[in-house]
Structures are given as C-alpha cells and as structure tokens.
C-alpha cells in the first residue's frame, strides 16, 4: 500500500477528460495524488464538478515524454513551407457537399 500524503502531497498526475461520448479525451490540467486511485478521485473532484465529463484518464506526469523547446526548429519548422501536404490542390466537385 502506498503511504498517504507526503510533505509534497504525492506525485503529479496529468488529467484528461472526455467531455462527451464520441469526443477524444482532452488534457485539462494536473493534480497531486499518492497513487492512481486517489488521482482519479482528485481529478473527479477538481475537474468534473460542473458536469465537464463522462470519462477521466490520469497519467503519471513523470511518464509523459515531451518535445524539448530546443528542438522546436528541427521538429516543427520543416512543415511550414510544405503547402502540398494540405489537401488544397484539387477541385471539389459541386455535387459533393462536405
């Protein structure tokens, strides 16, 4: 059994809420908790008290691998001048209503 709150109030967990059926879970913020069960409950109390969701995920923040700000140029800039990746180079027939 994981011990109750330490001086830091437990580890950090990232919280994802699915606002309604058919939509994807969206990151809404983070909370502290001693373990996964408490993290789910804390997330419920902090992020879904005004009917924001129908499903919750909690993920240990330490398990999230994030891209580094130093790598921003090599990661994202190359996409900037490649307009041909966007589906804009053909006519949509009038009969097709998107």
Q: Interface residues with other proteins (CB under 8 A)?
A: 1-5, 9-10, 31-35, 37-38, 41-42, 45-46, 49
- As measured in angstroms, the least distance from the Cβ of 35 to other proteins is 8
Report the candidate in 26, 27, 25, 32 with the shortest Cα–Cα distance to residue 11.
Answer: 32
Backbone angles phi, psi at 32, to 5 degrees: -100, 145
- As measured in angstroms, the least distance from the Cβ of 51 to other proteins is 13
d(CA 33, CA 53): 20
- As measured in angstroms, the least distance from the Cβ of 12 to other proteins is 11
> Hey, how many other C-beta atoms are within 10 angstroms of the C-beta on 14?
19
Pick between residue 31 and residue 56 the one whose CB is nearest to other proteins. 31
Pick between residue 46 and residue 62 the one whose CB is nearest to other proteins. 46
């Amino acid at each position: 059994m994981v011990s109750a709150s330490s001086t830091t109030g437990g580890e950090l967990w990232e919280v994802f809420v699915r606002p309604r059926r058919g939509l994807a879970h969206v990151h809404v913020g983070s909370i502290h908790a001693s373990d996964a069960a408490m993290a789910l409950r804390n997330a419920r109390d902090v992020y879904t008290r005004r009917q924001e969701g129908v499903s919750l995920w909690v993920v240990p923040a330490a398990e999230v691998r994030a891209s580094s700000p130093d790598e921003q140029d090599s990661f994202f800039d190359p996409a900037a001048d490649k307009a041909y990746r966007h589906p804009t180079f053909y006519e949509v027939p009038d009969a097709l209503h998107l």
